[in-house]
Amino acid sequence: MWTVTLPDSDYLLLSGTCQWRNFQRRVIDLLIRHLKANGDEAVVIAAVEVGSKRFARTGRPDPHIHLITTGWGRRHPEGGWVLSPDRMDQLVAKAAQYAQLPATSRPSCSRVERVRHSVASYMSKYLTKDAPVDPESMPDEWQNLIPHQWWSQSASCKAMVEGVMCKLPPAFASFLVRKAILLENLSLGKGGVRTVGWKKRKCHDIPIEVFRFVFRTPECLHQALELFALWVINEEVLDTEGLVMSG
């Protein structure tokens, strides 16, 4: 994981421009180019966070970037590591130039560390974390610091994710919702509603909910698809108690 954090002086300058989005985009692009130039496949996913501690200290929505990337442990042709902190600082300096920030020393703007446990857990934490600020309540002078895009991915990451996913027909999703109890009774998996975010309202927050069904095994998904095929032929084939062949 590569975490990019700028000093207070840079955020003050960025607050007077619309250059944060340019800096954010350039950091990701430069990392991808750096990895590919050194023989890495450049699987990168990035999430932007507004830290609550820094917001409490400055009162500004100062964003920083968390990037999960391949390349850990890869040697650089000139010595050292491809993802060494000094080389990462050089990428930040280049991105700062694109964002029209002054050429100055930015010590410790990069933190590079190995993800020791679950990449999925790390990224789900940052991708689903609520911001500690309400953009609509921020003064005009801080609006330019609020990210317009909270996450992004490299083409290699997108291809990798799509390579292990398949698109199912919308009618199958309807089948899962309508027959969730039946599928659970058949021990194929577990369905339910999950809150993935909140919509801010004046009186109270409204949850953003999605229905999901988690299959126990790929074979259970295959069985559900077979039942779905029967359901498409004749909806009366299935009821909430089990299989019923209509006359």
Residue with tokens 């949850």: 207
Cβ-proximal residues to 210 (8 Å cutoff; 6+ apart), any chain: 193, 194, 196
User: pTM for the full model?
Assistant: 0.70
pLDDT for res 136: 67
Report the 10 Å Cβ neighbour count for 207: 11
Which is nearest to 47 in space by CA: 135, 120, 113, 156? 120
Cα angle 135, 17, 89 (rounded to 5 degrees) comes to 95
Token representation of residue 83 = 């993802």
Averages of pLDDT over runs of 10 residues in the chain (247 residues) are: 94 92 95 96 92 87 93 93 94 95 87 84 72 72 87 90 80 91 94 80 79 91 91 66 46
pLDDT for res 246: 42
Report the 10 Å Cβ neighbour count for 70: 18
The domains of the chain are located at: 2-163, 170-243
pLDDT for res 247: 36
